[in-house]
Structure formats: C-alpha cells, structure tokens
C-alpha cells in the first residue's frame, strides 16, 4: 500500500510534463514574488509623499506579507485537495484588479487594504511547492523544490524593474499598473504551459489537507522556527534594505535598489543549490552550517557605528568603527547565499518527513516564515524610531538565529547520540 501511495504522489521524473510544470511554476512564482515585494521600492517615494515614519514604512512594506502568509495554510490544503494548477491560476487572477487600484490610492489606509489583497501573490509558494514536488521522486524533490523556490529572486527583479519604471515615468503610479498587466499575462501563460495530474489530488477521505495533526507535531514547529530565520529574515531584509541604504548611507533610490539586489538575487536564485546540497548531504547538516554562517555575519552587522576616544600622553586618540558600503554589501551577499540554501534545506526536512499532507505542512511552515517576514520590517522601523540606531535590525536577527542554533542542538543531539551508539555497538560486534 505504501509503495502504491508513493507512486501516486511522486511520478517518475522521466515524465516530460514534470520539467514543463517546474519551469512554468518557477516563472509564475518569480513574478508573484516580485509583486509581493513591490512596496520595498514603492514605500520610498510614499514615505516622502505621505510623511511616513520608519515604523509606518515598515507597515506598508510588510502588509502584503501578512495576507500572503495567512493564506498559505488554506491554499496549501486546497492544493492537496484540488490540485495545484487551478489553485495557482485563481490566486494569481485574484490580485490583478487590486494591483491596478494601487495606482489610484492616496491615503495610508488605502495602501494597507490594497496591500492585503495584493499579498495573496506571496501565498503561491505553498501552492507551487506541493504541486511541483509531486511530479518528482523523493530523491529529486529537494532539487525540484529548490528550483521552484528560486522564484524568490523576484525580490531582486522588482529592485531592478521598479526604480527604472519610476525614473522613466517620473511617478511611482506606473509600477502597479505594469505589474497588474504582467500578472494577468503570467497567469494565462502558466495555464497554457503547465499540466494537471488527477493522481496528485488527495481525496478528502485519505486525509488531504488535515492540519490539526500538523499543528501538534513538534517537528513542524521546529521547522517553522528555522524557516522564520532563513525565509522570514530574507523577506524582512529584502523589504528593508533599499530603505536602509537610503537612510543610513544617503544613496539614491536607484543605487539603493541595485545594492539591495546584491542580497536579494543570490537569496533567490541559489535556492536550487540549497536543494542539491540538501539531497547530497542531508537537511540537518546543510541547515546547521547555514545557521552558523548567518549567525557570524549578523554578529558583525549588528555592531553599531562607533567612535572611540582614548586618552594618551599626547592627547585623545580617536578611532571610528563602521562598515563601509562595500563591506556591508559583501556581508549581505554572503547572508543572501546562506539564506537561499537554508530555505531549501528546511523544505527538504518536510519532504523527508511528510508525504500525503506536504501541502498542509508546507503551508504551516510557510505561514510561520511569512509572519516573521511581516513582523520584521515593522520591528526594524520601531527599533530605529526608538533608538536611532540603524543596525538594531541585525541585532534582532542575531538573537533569532541564536535561538534556532540552540533548538537545533538539543533537538538533534539525541539522534546524534543514538547514531554514535549504534556505530560503537556495530564496531564491538565486529570485534
């Protein structure tokens, strides 16, 4: 029965439709993610137009992330029940009109409401992940989901496209109009190039979309914590970095967006590498290495710009400690690479541990990561408004990463001890 179930949910990779589904889904998700991150750029001229504080900027930038995150669980369950193709299409179409209406908004509350509707684009991740995964055997699911997850590079795409549109048109209102048309065209292209397989739809009697068991599973909570760092941190920083470059270094919106893309781009496109590494070395070892890398980088990035005065026989000696834009960008580039790998390795945990309800589980984990991505820009802004120190955003992420490292250590220590004991026992048995 188990073999039959696995063959139903994971068809051979030789099926030519599998790769067609993968590439069409990845392209569609890239556009969805670019739209999801749209306010990272639009928020900059809106801050000047509406006179927003850093906290209010964080709210406008993060509002789409909230609705996109909350919708991930129900849409993941719908994917298990009805199939990914139709759910993906309807979700994209639902954002077309709200996108267009953003260009006519003038008040803060209007941007919040429309941002909530547009945020559904981000929920496409919990649709595409199970939709793509079921076209591939388990041994290739990490790589396939990594390629699909590379659609996170849409965060970099919007940083290239949106500033150019604003400068060329002389107004920010052109961006939502162009994105509305792009979403409509993408939805139609996805429907024409993707495929459906009725075997991938889990009948309700078989437990499709059951989430209560997921919510009480400690593994799901553990993976949610990891994902809140690698994905939530990625989303929060992708939204915050253009604003950070403008406020901290005084760059123009074009230059700020370009440098911010040095973080967003590798953080998206290299997710496929994370899938391959997870298939090759395992989800635990890959995620463990990722957490230590971002932990070290956040430690350096957290240090605030400091001036020291040391008394000497010849008078005070003054020293300055600060990260130059070049060093800062290099560190963010490294963080982007690590987070890309970590996003894939966390979902490798899920594909290893779950089969029938991968959509519901990915929805729960995606929800946690998305909620972190929603909360972080607001917290970043509040911390800056409260302290006036721009590096407080990295102090917050440093603490969150430390929690993940401690949790991983104690969660998997028993597994490591059992593995070492079995090796020792087999060695004594051989003797």
pLDDT digits (tens, 9 = 90+) for 300-316: 999 888 888 888 878 78
- pLDDT at residue 210 tops 60: no
The whole-number pLDDT of residue 414 equals 59
Residue with tokens 């309807």: 90
Query: Domains of the chain by range and CATH?
Result: 10-201+226-430 (1.20.1250.20)
Is the pLDDT score of 317 beyond 50? yes
Own/partner pairs for 6-11, CB < 8 Å, 24+ apart?
Answer: 6/138, 6/355, 8/199, 8/200, 9/134, 9/199, 9/200, 9/202, 9/355, 9/356, 10/133, 10/134, 10/135, 10/136, 10/137, 10/138, 10/141, 11/134, 11/135, 11/136, 11/137, 11/197, 11/199
Over the stretch 51-84, which tens digit does the pLDDT of each residue have?
989 899 989 988 998 998 888 878 888 887 888 8
User: If you average pLDDT over residues 259-281, what whole number do you get?
Assistant: 84
Phi, psi of 263 (to 5 degrees): -90, -45
**Comparing 185 with 202, which gets the higher pLDDT?**
185
Q: Who contacts 94 (Cβ-Cβ below 8 Å, separation ≥6)?
A: 117, 120
Q: Give the pLDDT of residue 119.
A: 92
The whole-angstrom separation of Cα 272 and Cα 145 is 7
* Number of Cβ atoms within 10 Å of the Cβ of 318: 9
pLDDT of 241 strictly over 60: yes
Query: What distance in Å separates the CA atoms of residue 393 and residue 245, rounded to the nearest whole number?
Result: 13
Q: What is the pTM of this model?
A: 0.76
How many Cβ atoms sit within 10 Å of the Cβ of residue 224? Answer: 20
Contact 339, 401 (CB under 8 A): no
CA 65, CA 60: separation in Å to the nearest integer?
Answer: 10
The pLDDT of residue 222 is above 90: no
């Amino acid at each position: 029965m188990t073999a039959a179930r696995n063959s139903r949910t994971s068809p051979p990779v030789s099926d030519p439709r599998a790769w067609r589904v993968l590439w069409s889904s990845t392209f569609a998700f890239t556009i969805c993610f670019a739209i999801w991150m749209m306010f990272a750029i639009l928020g900059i001229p809106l801050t000047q137009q509406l006179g927003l504080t850093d906290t209010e900027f964080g709210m406008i930038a993060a509002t789409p992330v909230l609705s996109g995150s909350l919708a991930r669980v129900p849409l993941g369950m719908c994917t298990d029940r009805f199939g990914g193709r139709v759910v993906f299409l309807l979700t994209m179409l639902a954002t077309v009109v709200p996108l267009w209406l953003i260009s006519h908004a003038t008040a803060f509350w209007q941007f919040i409401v429309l941002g909530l509707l547009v945020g559904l684009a981000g929920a496409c991740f919990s649709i595409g992940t199970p939709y793509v995964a079921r076209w591939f055997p388990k041994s290739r699911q990490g790589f396939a989901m990594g390629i699909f997850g590379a659609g996170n590079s849409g965060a970099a795409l919007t940083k290239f496209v949106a500033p150019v549109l604003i400068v060329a048109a002389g107004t920010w209102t052109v961006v939502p109009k162009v994105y509305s048309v792009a979403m409509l065209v993408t939805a139609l292209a996805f429907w024409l190039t993707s495929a459906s397989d009725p075997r991938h739809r889990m009948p309700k009697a078989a437990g499709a979309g059951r989430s209560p068991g997921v919510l009480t599973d400690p593994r799901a909570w553990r993976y949610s914590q990891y994902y809140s760092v690698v994905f939530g941190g990625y989303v929060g920083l992708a939204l915050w970095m253009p604003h950070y470059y403008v406020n901290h270094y005084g760059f123009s919106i074009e230059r700020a967006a370009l440098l911010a893309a040095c973080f967003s781009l590798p953080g998206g496109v290299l997710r496929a590498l994370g899938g391959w590494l997870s298939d090759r070395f395992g989800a635990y070892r890959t995620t463990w290495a990722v957490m230590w890398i971002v932990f070290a980088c956040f430690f350096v990035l957290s240090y605030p710009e400091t001036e020291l005065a040391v008394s000497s026989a010849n008078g005070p000696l003054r020293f300055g400690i600060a990260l130059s834009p070049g060093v800062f960008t290099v560190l963010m580039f490294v963080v982007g690479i690590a987070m890309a790998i970590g996003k894939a390795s966390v979902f490798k945990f899920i594909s290893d541990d779950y089969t029938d309800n991968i959509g519901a589980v990915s929805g729960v984990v995606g929800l946690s990561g998305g909620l972190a991505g929603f909360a972080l820009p607001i917290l970043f802004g509040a911390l800056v408004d409260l302290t006036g120190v721009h590096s407080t955003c990295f102090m917050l992420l440093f603490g969150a990463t430390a929690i993940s490292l401690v949790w991983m250590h104690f969660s998997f220590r028993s597994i490591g001890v059992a593995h070492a004991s079995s090796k020792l026992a087999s060695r004594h048995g051989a003797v």
